[in-house]
Structure 1
Amino acid sequence: MNRAIFRFYEELNDFLPADRRRREFACACPDGATVKHMIEALGVPHTEVELILLDGESVNFDRAILDGDRLAVYPMFERLDISPLLRVRACPLRVLRFVADAHLGGLAALLRMSGFDTLYENAFDDGEIAEISAHQGRIVLTRDRELLKRRIISHGCYLHARKPREQLAELFERLDLARSARPFSRCLRCNHPLRELPAEQARLRVPPKVAERHARFLSCDHCDQVFWQGSHWRSMRALLEPLLRADCS
């Protein structure tokens, strides 16, 4: 049995018991245990980790822990390029595509509203989500820590907030989403891109009063949904504006 010293930083501490947060602590490690094994045994999903320094040197998840090792474990660095230091995965994932678990339907709709490619089906089981993430390069969104511990998932986010609007704000802050957002460019129902629909064509597909009051329409070619800038659009815009302004502050 080996003994190593661990120190977790920033939001990774939220996964630890109170007496281990924001401080160094010693931990017994079975012979042959890897860095990934011990990080997850301590309660932190590997998908939340971006950088591991062992005695000051960057290492990957497969490195075996030896007696006396000192490990500093860091979350994602979204505003600082640390790619020359990374060892835990080939490179940071910056193509922002998501797959949300069955409990995050509200968040999935808000992400689509913000313009982010977000897969969601309430029938997805954990195995399907993991496979989709691995094969399509999608970030898993979940409140299930055990899902994020699956080996084939390389990128994921554990949502600390419980309500969809708070979850959206959390993601905007953690992943610096404001600069990548393209509001109202995706269908809230099916996730496909929207296109401009000429007003003369829209009049055949919307209620007469809507056609009289609005001049701009968007259409989804996949599910035939038509969108216009009504009261629902204005309320969604009001929700997004503070998040988008954060990128300019």
Structure 2
Amino acid sequence: MCACARAATVKHMIEALGVPHTEVELILVNGESCGFERTLRDGDRVSVYPQFEAFDITPLLRVRAEPLRATRFVADAHLGGLAHLLRLTGFDTLYDNHYADSEIEAIAMREGRIVLTRDRELLKRRGVTHGCYVRAIKATPQLREIFARLDLARSARPFSLCLDCNVPLRAIDKTEVDGRVPPGVLARQERFVTCGCCQRVFWEGSHWRHMRDLVDELVPAGRCL
């Protein structure tokens, strides 16, 4: 049983209980699916469900016009490590540790991005329609959490983005990196990529192999570029 104000909507009731509306994908009132704007009446029975991964609920009305399947993100100031790991796996992720909550909300609205945060109040903002409250504390467990929750493995494109600039990497001929990488690297390596923004050159060295171990854990074989 939950008491709520006169003319309260489902959204108001859910968030009054501490659950951000972005954590919800399906609402049933008296057994019928509805949206956030539904006004509650005394005696209504409300069932609230998180997003579904393994069940087909297409005959039911989800609470948003668009499903939680967009794979572009904006991360809050506490999730810099997660932002870099999402870029590692090929997901466009904006991050700046100076972003204010209002900026994150505006970016999410303007660009249709999923908000990633450890701040439930940010997810309650009206303009944030798609978001995830990240429960894990450290970056690698956070990445595993987001991959599992949003079923990201099938759309991952590992090693396709610059971890610092969040822009696509492009292949570059070995002849073009002479003088830009150590001589030993030039002698041993055949494949190079570069970022058109920062102009850095990357190759499959020991650091790459360490990152590949994490990628192989999360992404099906054959998905790496």
When the two structures are superposed, what TM-score results if normalisation uses the length of structure 2?
0.95
SS of match in other structure, 1:122: coil
Q: Aligned runs of 1:146-161 on 2, under 5 Å?
A: 146-161=121-136
Q: Once the 2 structures are TM-superposed, how far is the Cα of residue 245 of structure 1 from its aligned partner? A: 4.2
User: Unaligned stretches of 5+ in structure 1?
Assistant: 1-25
Residue number among 95, 100, 104 corresponding to 1:129 in the alignment: 104
- Measure, in 2, the Cα distance between the counterparts of 1:79 and 1:206: 47
User: Unaligned stretches of 5+ in structure 2?
Assistant: none
Q: Aligned runs of 1:25-36 on 2, under 5 Å?
A: 26-36=1-11
Q: Once the 2 structures are TM-superposed, how far is the Cα of residue 174 of structure 1 from its aligned partner? A: 0.4
Q: Once the 2 structures are TM-superposed, how far is the Cα of residue 81 of structure 1 from its aligned partner? A: 4.2
Q: Once the 2 structures are TM-superposed, how far is the Cα of residue 64 of structure 1 from its aligned partner? A: 0.8
User: What is the RMSD of the two structures over their aligned residues, measured on CA atoms?
Assistant: 1.3
What amino acid does structure 2 have at the position aligned with 1:115?
G
Q: 1:197 to 1:79 in 2, by over 3 A?
A: farther
SS of match in other structure, 1:72: strand
Partner residue in 2 for 1:6: none
Q: Aligned runs of 1:1-20 on 2, under 5 Å?
A: none
Contact 2:116 2:131 in 1 (8 A): yes
Partner residue in 2 for 1:41: 16
SS of match in other structure, 2:106: helix
Partner residue in 1 for 2:63: 88
Q: Aligned runs of 1:48-59 on 2, under 5 Å?
A: 48-59=23-34
Deviations 1:208-246 (A, max 9, x none): 111111111111111112111011100000012111249
- Measure, in 2, the Cα distance between the counterparts of 1:171 and 1:147: 18
- Measure, in 1, the Cα distance between the counterparts of 2:172 and 2:206: 19
Partner residue in 2 for 1:218: 193
When the two structures are superposed, what TM-score results if normalisation uses the length of structure 1?
0.86
SS of match in other structure, 2:167: coil
Partner residue in 2 for 1:176: 151
Deviations 1:157-180 (A, max 9, x none): 000100000000001100011101
Contact 1:50 1:86 in 2 (8 A): no
Residue number among 99, 116, 139 corresponding to 1:164 in the alignment: 139
Partner residue in 2 for 1:206: 181
Partner residue in 2 for 1:112: 87
User: By percentage of residues, which structure has more strand?
Assistant: 1
Contact 1:111 1:118 in 2 (8 A): yes
- How many residue pairs match? The answer is 221
Identity score, percent: 65
Partner residue in 1 for 2:116: 141
Q: 1:152 to 1:58 in 2, by over 3 A?
A: same
- Measure, in 2, the Cα distance between the counterparts of 1:134 and 1:80: 28
